[in-house]
Each structure stands twice: as structure tokens, then as C-alpha cells.
């Protein structure tokens, strides 16, 4: 693998997402603006977190800081995102300049009056001028959400934001107290429960630093280092390039928090390598899509949604990280076993050792990435300084990077990093403030407290049916909305039904929602992650989506496992966690092997359609019986009974597979 080719591919991949989401180029006179906005935002954020006192006028109060973030970033949305994708290649029209300026003035008004909003309770009684500014803010937020997040988010946000006006005339289950237009506008934009609520608070207080760290990591060659490290460790083994994809995409996906950009960054290097050893185009694309999707579910960063989750649960972010470790290990284990089984069954080897980077040289060139990564994990898990950890890690990375001749930054590299960060910040802010309207409407009407009871009523009190409803709802919302937006809606509407109503563990429920919201990236008919991988692999999108669905099949039931027994998310005694984890590992190995028809130590699982279907089916059942945690109210059997069921299916299946292989050898010898 040549590093020059990798660097060019990565640079190209970094540009492609902009084409997909139609971000336009600013004119030369304004090209500096995104970098300047990022610089000011970072200074304000550092001032807010470290209490330096640099910007008392903008970050002296908590709500003032949140207003300042919105006032800085939303004007960029109207400059960078055109009113329609077809206008992306045209210059910025006059009306977008006007909307950007109007957003800046509106945001500045709320920044200036932040103290009065807080002290005098303007959320429930504000001057007329503040109400008028709230109306303007309302319209601009919805339009910004439409441009950056798409029509589904804008329609849902706009519809729900108006719900308090008509709540009293709605049908029984969704009927609530109504409010006037003025009251609704004041609550949305001057309370801490709507636009300035948990989604924006999580972004401003936690996510900004991690987004910067992800951009800097990529721009300093972190992606190239992790890919080279993966190739040096795994490139030569059976199915090596696909296993490299799991390793590199998992690490980078965790840092970037974006499935699509991860596919287009690491996929341009791993997919051609997979094709070289004989993997089908659709299979190679499916591997990359699954690996990139899993990366967003893997600690330590996990993308923006995990930080919002910590805010909703009112727990340290480190608690979310610890809870997510075992589920992510199980997912990547299932993916690894499927790739290994596919490679063994099809006789696929790794790449020649001579073509691969050596481990010694790779570590010599990029040892400091591991050092920085270790610092980040230490500060997150040991020090529990979630808000400050990424800034320390980024600062250390930038210092160490200057000693690298290859990746040393100059003004141009710093400028590009600041510009790219601004686009990420603006997009996510627009989406989160739009979703904030939805949260505010449910809070204002009191519906967030009663809708849980309605879900329980619809499920007839059945916890299993309630979980299935939650899975389906999460998946459907994940198709039309970003994962963060879908999660926030369900965290308000559905999670209380599963926690208070069904008595399930809150952390397990919120992770359950996150996992099922992510599944839309690998599940047709949408499967955005798989479709992005298909463009790199040159395969058919639907075929790639089906391959991704098969490869990632273990992820469809992992959320049910940790909801049924929270020991899989580190809730319980060490002994219970160990037993459940070991059973789940063995069960997933059998499950994944059955999906590909090859079991390590046994070989091919039967020959001929009927025989192979029977053997694979029995091993599939054995794997599920082992993986499912027993002893819960929903699973009225013990661990030992499940173990007996598994053995009853597994032993005859292995015997039949061995007999089939012997018969095949005898037939070949004749």
C-alpha cells in the first residue's frame, strides 16, 4: 500500500461528501469566514469551559454562551447550504446574504439580553420586541434545519413546534394543554427546554471539542496511520484486507462519528484491497459499510449522539462509554467471524507480505497517534473530564505533529482544518436546534410525560411488544432523520415507556434506541452507508445493502440482548458480567459462522441445499440460545437450560457436517 496513493484517495474522499450534500463554495472575499467563525467559536468555548474571562459579553452566562454558539454558526448555514441542491454551483444570492445577516442580528439580540431572559423569566412573559425576535428566530431555525438536515427534519420540527397551539383539540391519546402563539414562541426560544435545551447544550458543552479532535486527527494523517497499522497487523492473514477494514474503519468511525465520511475516507483504500484478493464488489462494499457503521457505536467517542445520551441520562459520558464496550465488541466479533468464514469457504488469502507496510516503520512514523489516543481515553475514563479531554488531546496532537516531517502543519493546513470544522459545526447546530423545537413542544404541552403511558397501552402491557415497537420506530425514524435527531425524539417519547413503564434499565433502553436508529445505514431500501460504499466498490446499491445486512446481522439482536440482561452493558456483578459475556461471545461465533456456512475447527457446514440448510439452521439456533441471557422475566429459562438447548442443536449439527465432509472427500477420491 503506497502512502501517496492513500493520501490522495483520502483527500478526494474528504471532498466528496460536500458534493453529496451540496455545500457551495463562498466567493473569494468571504472564503476566510468559516475559518474565522471556527477560531472565534473555539476561543469562546475554551473561555466557557476554563473560565478564562475573555468573552464575558458572550459566554459569561450559560444561556448566553448557547445563544452565542447559535448566533455564530447558523448564519453560515444560509451561506454554505443553498436553498435547493441545484443552486450549489451558483454564487450566493442576495436573499441568502440577507437571511444570514438577519440570523446574526437575531442571535445577537438574544445574546445581549441573555441575563434578562434568565433573571426576569422571559420564557413565560417577555416584552413585545423579544416576542417578535422569537418569531423571526423560529422561521430561521426551521429553514436552517431544512437546508442542513433535509426536508424530513424540517417538516417534523415545524409540525411539532406548532403542536402547542392545537394540543387541546387533538385526539385523546395526544391531547394536552394548549398555548397561544406568543407563549409558544417565548417558550421555544427563551426557555432551557426547547431550542436551548439538551441537544444544543450537549453540542456546546461536549461535542465541539470532539469534532475538532476528529478533524485534526484526520488532517494530521491519523486515518493513514490507522490503516497502515491495520495492514501491517492483518493484511497478510486470510481475508486480510476485509479485516483491515474492520480495524481501521472502526477506529476512525469512532473518532469522526460519521458513517458516510468514514466510508468515503477509509473505503477508497480498503475496498480495492479486498477486490485484489478476490472478494466480490458487493461483499467488499458491505464489509466497509458495516465497519463504518459499527465505528460510530464504538467507544471512546461514538459521535454526537452519545454525548446527547449522557445529558438525557444525567450521567458522566464515561458511563456511556463503559456501557457501550461489550455490545461494540460483540458486533465487531460477529463481523470478523463472518469475514473469516467467508474467506475460508472461498479460499481467499491475504495480501503478499512484501506489499504491506512493516509494523516497526508504521509505529515509528505514527507512534504519537497511539499516545494521544491513550491520553484521550485516560482523561475520559479515569479523570472523567469529558468536556476538556478532546482539547488537551488535540493540543498534544498538534504539538507532536509538528515534529513529523511528512504531516507537519503550515498555515494552509491549519486554515483547511478550521474551514472543515466550521461546516461540521454549522450542520450539526442547525439540526440540533431544529430537533430542539420538537423537544420543547413535548415539554411545553406535558405530552412527554403522558405519551409513554400511551405506548404502554398500545403494547397491551407486553414488554417484548413494546421493545419491538421501539425497534421499528427507531429504524423508521433513522431512515428519514439523522441518528441524533431520531434518538432525541425517541429519548423523549419512547424511552420513559420502557424505563418507568416496563422497568427496564435506562442505559440499556437508550443504547437500544441508538443501535436501532443506526441500522438504517446498512438496511435496504435506504442503507445510506451501504450505498456510499457501493459507489466506491462499483457494485449495485441494493445488492451491497443486502450483503451489509447479512454481514451485520448480529447487530439486529444485540440490542435485545443487553436490554434483557444489563450485565452486557456492565450493570451487575463481575461474575454475572463474565458469564453473560462469555456465553454471548461463543453464541455469536456460532451465529456468524452459520450465516456464512463455515465454522472454525469444523470446516464447511454441509454440502447440498437441504443438508446445508439443516446444519446451518441448527448451529444458528445453538448460537442464539447461547447468546440470549436467561433468567429474566422475558426469558423464563435459566442459563443452564439455554446451554442444554444449544448443545442439543450443536452436537448433531457438527456430527452431520463432519459426515458430509467425509462423504464429499470419498466422492472426490473416486
Backbone angles phi, psi at 598, to 5 degrees: -150, 130
Rounded to 10 deg, the angle between the 208-219 and 33-50 helix axes is 130
Predicted pLDDT of residue 186 = 97
In terms of DSSP H, where are the helices of 91-197? 94-112, 114-119, 128-149, 151-161, 163-166, 181-190
Predicted pLDDT of residue 15 = 38
In terms of DSSP H, where are the helices of 460-573? 463-480, 483-493, 495-496, 506-518, 528-537, 541-551, 558-564
- What CA–CA distance (Å, rounded) separates 515 from 534? 22
Predicted pLDDT of residue 18 = 38
Predicted pLDDT of residue 13 = 38
Q: CA torsion 146→303→316→324, rounded to 10°?
A: 130
Q: Which three cell numbers stand for residue 470?
A: 421501539
Give which of 111, 249, 246, 264 is closest to 190, Cα–Cα.
111
**Burial class of residue 575, CB neighbours in 10 A (0-12, 13-18, 19+):** exposed
According to the 3-state scheme, what is the secondary structure of 414-433? HHHHHHHHHHHHHHHHHHHH
Q: Are 177 and 166 in contact (CB under 8 A)?
A: no
Predicted pLDDT of residue 5 = 37
- What CA–CA distance (Å, rounded) separates 316 from 330? 23
Q: Are 513 and 494 in contact (CB under 8 A)?
A: yes
Predicted pLDDT of residue 286 = 94
Q: Which three cell numbers stand for residue 311?
A: 445529558
**DSSP label at residue 157:** H
What are the helix and strand counts (H, E) for the chain? 32, 2
Give which of 527, 525, 473 is closest to 292, Cα–Cα.
527
- DSSP for 205-236 reads IIIHHHHHHHHHHHHTTHHHHHHHHHHHHHTT
Predicted pLDDT of residue 21 = 45
Encode pLDDT of 197-219 as tens digits: 989 999 998 889 988 998 898 88
**Location of C-alpha cell 455545500:** 23
According to the 3-state scheme, what is the secondary structure of 323-360? HHHHHHHHHHHHHHHHHHHHHHHCCCCCCCHHHCCCHH
Encode pLDDT of 441-453 as tens digits: 988 988 766 776 7
Q: Block means of pLDDT (10 residues each) for the chain, length 670 residues?
A: 40 39 84 96 94 86 95 97 87 95 97 95 95 97 93 90 92 83 96 93 90 89 87 91 86 71 82 92 94 86 84 91 93 94 92 90 91 90 87 95 89 94 93 92 81 72 82 79 80 83 88 89 85 91 93 92 91 89 93 94 89 94 89 74 92 93 82
- What CA–CA distance (Å, rounded) separates 653 from 264? 41
- What CA–CA distance (Å, rounded) separates 195 from 70? 10
**Residue 221 region, left (φ>0) first, then alpha (ψ -120 to 50), else beta?**
left
In terms of DSSP H, where are the helices of 21-84? 33-50, 56-59, 62-80
Q: Which three cell numbers stand for residue 558?
A: 444485540
Q: Name the pTM for this structure.
A: 0.86
Q: Is 665 helix (H, G, I), strand (E, B) or coil?
A: helix
Q: Are 502 and 470 in contact (CB under 8 A)?
A: no
Tally Cβ neighbours within 10 Å of residue 299: 20
Q: Is 115 helix (H, G, I), strand (E, B) or coil?
A: helix
Q: Could you give the count of Cα atoms lying within 13 Å of 570 in the half-sphere of its Cβ?
A: 14
Predicted pLDDT of residue 257 = 63
- What CA–CA distance (Å, rounded) separates 558 from 564? 10
Predicted pLDDT of residue 299 = 85
Give which of 202, 144, 262 is closest to 518, Cα–Cα.
262
Amino acid at each position: 500500500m503506497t502512502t501517496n496513493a492513500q493520501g490522495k484517495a483520502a483527500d478526494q474522499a474528504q471532498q466528496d461528501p460536500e458534493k453529496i450534500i451540496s455545500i457551495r463554495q463562498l466567493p473569494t472575499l468571504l472564503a476566510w469566514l468559516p475559518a474565522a467563525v471556527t477560531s472565534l467559536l473555539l476561543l469562546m468555548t475554551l473561555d466557557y469551559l476554563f473560565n478564562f474571562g475573555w468573552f464575558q459579553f458572550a459566554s459569561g452566562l450559560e444561556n448566553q454562551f448557547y445563544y452565542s454558539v447559535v448566533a455564530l454558526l447558523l448564519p453560515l448555514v444560509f451561506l454554505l447550504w443553498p436553498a435547493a441542491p441545484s443552486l450549489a454551483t451558483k454564487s450566493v444570492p442576495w436573499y441568502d446574504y440577507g437571511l444570514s445577516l438577519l440570523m446574526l442580528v437575531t442571535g445577537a439580540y438574544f445574546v445581549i439580553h441573555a441575563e434578562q431572559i434568565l433573571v426576569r423569566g422571559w420564557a413565560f412573559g417577555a416584552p413585545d420586541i423579544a416576542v417578535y425576535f422569537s418569531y423571526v428566530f423560529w422561521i430561521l431555525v426551521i429553514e436552517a434545519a431544512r437546508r442542513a438536515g433535509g426536508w424530513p427534519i424540517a417538516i417534523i420540527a415545524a409540525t411539532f413546534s406548532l403542536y402547542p397551539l392545537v394540543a387541546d383539540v387533538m385526539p385523546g391519546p395526544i391531547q394536552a394543554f394548549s398555548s397561544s402563539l406568543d407563549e409558544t414562541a417565548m417558550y421555544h426560544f427563551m426557555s432551557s427546554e426547547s431550542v436551548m435545551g439538551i441537544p444544543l447544550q450537549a453540542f456546546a458543552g461536549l461535542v465541539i471539542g470532539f469534532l475538532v479532535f476528529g478533524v485534526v486527527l484526520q488532517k494530521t494523517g491519523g486515518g493513514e496511520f490507522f490503516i497502515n497499522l491495520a495492514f501491517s497487523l492483518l493484511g497478510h492473514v486470510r481475508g486480510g484486507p476485509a479485516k483491515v477494514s474492520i480495524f481501521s474503519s472502526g477506529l476512525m468511525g469512532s473518532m469522526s462519528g460519521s458513517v458516510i465520511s468514514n466510508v468515503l475516507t477509509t473505503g477508497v483504500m480498503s475496498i480495492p484491497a479486498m477486490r485484489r484478493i478476490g472478494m466480490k464488489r458487493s461483499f467488499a462494499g458491505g464489509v466497509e459499510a458495516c465497519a463504518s457503521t459499527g465505528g460510530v457505536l464504538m467507544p471512546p467517542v461514538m459521535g454526537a449522539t452519545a454525548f446527547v445520551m449522557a445529558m438525557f441520562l444525567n450521567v458522566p459520558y464515561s458511563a456511556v462509554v463503559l456501557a457501550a464496550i461489550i455490545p461494540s465488541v460483540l458486533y465487531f466479533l460477529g463481523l470478523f467471524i463472518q469475514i473469516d468464514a467467508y474467506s475460508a469457504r472461498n479460499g481467499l488469502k491475504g495480501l503478499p507480505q512484501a506489499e504491506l507496510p512493516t509494523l516497526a516503520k508504521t509505529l515509528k512514523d505514527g507512534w504519537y497517534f497511539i499516545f494521544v489516543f491513550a491520553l484521550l481515553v485516560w482523561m475520559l475514563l479515569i479523570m472523567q473530564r469529558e468536556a476538556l479531554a478532546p482539547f488537551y488531546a488535540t493540543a498534544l496532537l498538534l504539538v507532536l505533529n509538528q515534529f513529523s516531517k511528512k504531516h507537519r502543519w503550515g498555515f494552509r493546513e491549519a486554515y483547511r482544518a478550521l474551514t472543515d470544522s466550521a461546516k461540521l459545526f454549522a450542520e450539526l447546530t442547525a439540526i440540533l436546534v431544529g430537533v430542539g423545537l420538537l423537544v420543547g413542544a413535548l415539554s411545553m404541552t406535558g405530552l412527554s410525560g403522558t405519551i409513554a403511558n400511551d405506548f404502554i397501552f398500545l403494547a397491551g402491557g407486553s414488554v417484548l411488544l413494546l421493545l419491538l415497537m421501539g425497534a421499528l420506530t427507531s429504524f423508521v425514524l433513522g431512515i428519514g432523520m439523522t441518528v441524533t435527531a431520531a434518538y432525541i425524539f425517541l429519548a423523549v417519547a419512547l424511552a420513559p415507556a420502557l424505563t418507568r413503564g416496563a422497568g427496564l434499565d435506562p442505559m440499556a433502553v437508550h443504547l437500544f434506541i441508538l443501535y436501532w436508529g443506526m441500522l438504517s445505514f446498512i438496511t435496504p431500501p435506504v442503507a445510506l452507508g451501504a450505498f456510499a460504499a457501493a459507489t466506491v466498490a462499483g457494485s449495485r446499491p441494493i445488492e451491497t445493502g443486502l450483503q451489509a445486512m447479512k454481514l451485520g446481522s448480529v447487530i439486529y439482536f444485540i440490542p435485545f440482548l443487553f436490554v434483557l440482561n444489563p450485565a452486557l452493558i456492565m450493570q451487575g456483578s463481575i461474575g454475572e458480567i463474565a458469564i453473560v459475556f462469555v456465553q454471548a461471545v461463543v453464541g455469536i461465533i456460532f451465529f456468524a459462522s452459520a450465516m456464512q456456512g463455515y465454522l472454525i475447527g469444523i470446516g464447511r457446514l454441509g454440502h447440498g441445499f437441504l443438508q446445508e440448510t439443516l446444519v446451518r439452521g441448527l448451529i444458528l439456533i445453538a448460537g442464539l440460545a447461547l447468546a440470549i441471557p436467561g433468567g429474566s422475566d422475558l426469558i423464563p429459562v435459566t442459563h443452564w437450560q439455554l446451554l442444554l438447548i444449544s448443545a442439543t442443536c450443536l452436537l448433531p449439527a457438527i456430527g452431520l457436517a463432519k459426515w458430509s465432509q467425509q462423504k464429499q472427500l470419498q466422492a472426490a477420491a473416486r
